[in-house]
Structure 1
Amino acid sequence: MKPILPGSTIGILGSGQLGRMLAIAARQMGYKIVVLSPDANTPAGQIADLEIVASYDDLSAIRKFAKKVDVVTLEFENVPAAAALATESIVPLRPGAEVLATTQHRLREKNFLRANGFPVTGFVEITSELPSGCSYPAILKTAGFGYDGKGQIKVASDDELRAAWDQLERQPCVLEAFVPFERELSVVAARGLDGHFVDYGVFENSHQNHILDLTTAPAVVTAKSAKDALAITRGIFEKLNIVGVACVELFLKSDGTVIVNEIAPRPHNSGHLTIDAATTSQFEQQLRAICGLPLGDPRFHAPAAMANLLGDLWQPNPPDWAALLQFPEIRLHLYGKDEARPGRKMGHITALGKSGVHAAGIVRAARAALQAQSVQVQPLVAPLPVEDIADDGMADVGAVDAELIRSASDGF
């Protein structure tokens, strides 16, 4: 199969910030971009050559979109199966409709994982009636169409389970055993048309209100835990025959074992730091993979951290960008969204550091400065030695004083 070379046109189903960053990478590599989503003036549409505004259920519009491009990829996994199949009947869709069908539905995804021997949380299916004899606490999740904590409720008794199912309108659900995990991890990786596989190592993530708040790379885990996480990820890519970038989200238990939480069949929020930290970003890697080109070098220039910027930071006053950019290590990425709503991802910041925890301290302090217009924080005369910041996990990051993390940019 011939590679799809620069000058060709990439189609993207979905037009949010993932599509925007993919479109930016495509522009840099000489590709044209067409996006389709139900909205206008979107983050990706602002970068694209053509923005098609249509419902994902409008199969006529989907087919017209597919005829305008040379290959299609996803930035949003909740595309209806009919739209994916209609696209795939005209032009290559990578990852394909079969991958999407498995990963966008929690029950199918968990059955796939269990059937293929991947470690997964215990679960039961709920369709027409509630099971008896459940162990609590547990998490009730809708079987389909959930992300960023949507469609899931923690329950601690039969009565809470009944109320939660009513709240979710008694739609098909999965009841998962609650995992007493120590840390949340992710592995972002890519697989080419030729089966070549590369990964970015293991990242560590922390969430607020079920939304990713901070990612550090590399994760502070044992060599065995990292090896297991990478092996699981590669096995999932191969079993699903994924072509492109995807992310496997995992839980790390106190005994060092890792279990799979979810699979995201697209570039991932935790992989945003690869734009500034890696030789080849996850977005360039996605383009290389779906176009049948050799995959790029995933190695990092230095440890890194990424913090999300949610719409909450715009309340009650707009962010103080000048205060943020007083931190010389910070790279700012905004997504072009007009309305800043609480919980809405408006952008992110990245920093490189002497360790992941060091970089995490920088992005935390810089983000705090966005709303601290009246606080004048002076940079240190000399950089903080890396040994002065504990490197034994995310629990220490919050204890790092914002003033102390203002290191001079002396290289890493």
Structure 2
Amino acid sequence: MSPPDPRGLGPGAVLGILGGGQLARMLALAAADLGVRVHIFAPDADSPAYEVAARHTIGAYEDEAALASFADAVDVVTYEFENVPAATAAFLAARTPLHPGARALAVTQDRLTEKRFVADLGLAVAPFESVDSLADLEKAVAKLGRPAVLKTRRFGYDGKGQVKIADGTDLAQAWDEIGHFPAILEGFVTFSREVSVVAARAADGSFAAFDVCENEHRDHILALTQVPARIGAAAADAAIEAARRIGEALGYVGVFAVEFFLVEGEGGEQVVVNEIAPRVHNSGHWTSEGAQTSQFHQHVRAVCGFPLGATARRGRVTMQNLIGDQANDWRAILAEPGTHLHLYGKREARPGRKMGHVTRVLPDRD
């Protein structure tokens, strides 16, 4: 093995990952392709990523002694989910490179902070109001109208921590449903479809985006992604440019996703930023077989200081999430020509739990 490249890390480097779920598992598999060893740090005794990583540490994110030993054993740290405690990120960043950095976590962990950050960049977002009490909620609804969506500012994903405010919704009950946590009310956006941009930014500022993909959610969980999205060229360019500006403003290093609403009006299509995910993203799973470089390889490249890879699409691609007992159809899926099955190694299939995904790649139409 040759010595590490002086311009960055090289094969033989050790990548530390906070979190041991399916995203960490797929990152570890990609890292192995590039000669990078992975060390997982997670609090769970049994996590999908442990099976494919070179090493793992089971410890609480507040355990500074365990975190210090972890930092000493790796060359760079990343994470598979955005709810890493801020104190954990700061503790590790003082000891070893952390990508993406603490600023990306701080902005994206709080929906209100994120909305203000995006709006300050001059990018379109849904109208929003801060909600810290039932009285605030009543004022916000009076201002934004119904329908609207009440969301906790922190720790929400896959529809958790949010309540739709419709014409007949009792506001006191809605406030109770989210547990009286600090929240944000978002005005409803009438959109034709949901799309996302998965992109990467390197420490030197280089940027590479995958094609805009179109997403279909069922029960607040991503069910299907297809690429190319049904979006005009101007709106697609605007979405990619918005992602580039977000990455630059955050000083971001790694792969991230920006989710958009596609709004159609008299002035043509417009993209409205919905959320930022500071990590590899479910809507980017199609890249594993559908792009020249997968989002997982791209993230390892970016955080380790390797050159970013080509993002060209290999055809028309669909990605289907396998939720709950859908993963039990694995045998039929494997028998279907042209499918690529990814199972996450989770032992129990529960309703709403992501157990795996399937990608299908077809030739582009003329």
Normalization by structure 1: what TM-score?
0.83
Question: What is the 5 A alignment of 1:210-289?
Answer: 210-255=220-265, 256-289=269-302
3-state DSSP of counterpart to 1:46:
helix
3-state DSSP of counterpart to 2:52:
coil
Does residue 4 of the first structure (1) align with residue 4 of the second (2)?
no
- Which of 146, 151, 160 is the aligned partner of 1:150? 160
Query: In structure 2, what is the Cα distance between the partners aligned to 1:17 and 1:114?
Result: 32
3-state DSSP of counterpart to 1:257:
strand
Does residue 46 of the first structure (1) align with residue 51 of the second (2)?
yes
- Which of 315, 318, 341 is the aligned partner of 1:305? 318
Map Cα deviations across residues 49-85 of structure 1 (whole Å, 9 max, x no partner): 1111112222332222111100001101111100010
- Which of 200, 205, 214 is the aligned partner of 1:190? 200
Gaps of 5+ in 2: 1-5
Map Cα deviations across residues 359-411 of structure 1 (whole Å, 9 max, x no partner): xxxxxxxxxxxxxxxxxxxxxxxxxxx69xxxxxxxxxxxxxxxxxxxxxxxx
Question: What is the 5 A alignment of 1:55-204?
Answer: 55-128=60-133, 129-130=135-136, 131-132=138-139, 133-134=142-143, 135-157=145-167, 160-204=170-214
- Which of 343, 352, 355 is the aligned partner of 1:343? 352
Map Cα deviations across residues 20-53 of structure 1 (whole Å, 9 max, x no partner): 0000011111111111111123111111111111
Contact 1:247 1:268 in 2 (8 A): yes
Contact 2:197 2:213 in 1 (8 A): yes
Give the match for residue 327 of structure 1. 336
- The alpha-carbon deviation at position 112 of structure 1 amounts to 0.6
- The alpha-carbon deviation at position 206 of structure 1 amounts to 0.2
- The alpha-carbon deviation at position 158 of structure 1 amounts to 8.0
Contact 1:142 1:171 in 2 (8 A): yes
| % identity of equivalent residues | 49
Contact 2:163 2:177 in 1 (8 A): no
Give the match for residue 3 of structure 2. none
| Segments of 4+ moved more than 6 angstroms | none
Q: Which one-letter code corresponds to 2:60 in the other structure? A: S
Query: In structure 1, what is the Cα distance between the partners aligned to 2:79 and 2:90?
Result: 13
Map Cα deviations across residues 133-166 of structure 1 (whole Å, 9 max, x no partner): 2400000000011111110110124853321111
Query: In structure 2, what is the Cα distance between the partners aligned to 1:162 and 1:331?
Result: 47
Gaps of 5+ in 1: 356-385, 388-412
3-state DSSP of counterpart to 1:254:
strand
Q: Which one-letter code corresponds to 1:339 in the other structure? A: E
Q: Which one-letter code corresponds to 2:332 in the other structure? A: A
Contact 1:312 1:343 in 2 (8 A): no
Residue 165 to residue 278, structure 1, CA distance change in 2 (3 Å): same
Give the match for residue 33 of structure 2. 28
Q: Which one-letter code corresponds to 2:359 in the other structure? A: T
Give the match for residue 376 of structure 1. none
Query: In structure 2, what is the Cα distance between the partners aligned to 1:120 and 1:162?
Result: 26
Contact 2:211 2:313 in 1 (8 A): no
Map Cα deviations across residues 297-342 of structure 1 (whole Å, 9 max, x no partner): 111111211000011326xxxx243322221110000000011101
Contact 2:152 2:182 in 1 (8 A): yes
Query: In structure 2, what is the Cα distance between the partners aligned to 1:29 and 1:254?
Result: 42
Give the match for residue 19 of structure 1. 24
Q: Which one-letter code corresponds to 1:182 in the other structure? A: S
Query: In structure 2, what is the Cα distance between the partners aligned to 1:281 and 1:159?
Result: 43
Map Cα deviations across residues 262-293 of structure 1 (whole Å, 9 max, x no partner): 00000000111111111111111001111111
3-state DSSP of counterpart to 2:208:
strand
Bigger mean CA offset, 160-169 vs 173-182? 160-169
Contact 2:107 2:113 in 1 (8 A): yes
3-state DSSP of counterpart to 2:163:
strand
Residue 157 to residue 59, structure 1, CA distance change in 2 (3 Å): farther
Query: In structure 1, what is the Cα distance between the partners aligned to 2:161 and 2:217?
Result: 16
Query: In structure 2, what is the Cα distance between the partners aligned to 1:109 and 1:246?
Result: 14
Q: Which one-letter code corresponds to 1:161 in the other structure? A: L
Q: Which one-letter code corresponds to 2:40 in the other structure? A: V
Q: Which one-letter code corresponds to 1:342 in the other structure? A: P
Query: In structure 1, what is the Cα distance between the partners aligned to 2:17 and 2:350?
Result: 25
Normalization by structure 2: what TM-score?
0.93
Contact 1:40 1:51 in 2 (8 A): no
Query: In structure 2, what is the Cα distance between the partners aligned to 1:127 and 1:15?
Result: 33
Q: Which one-letter code corresponds to 1:198 in the other structure? A: A
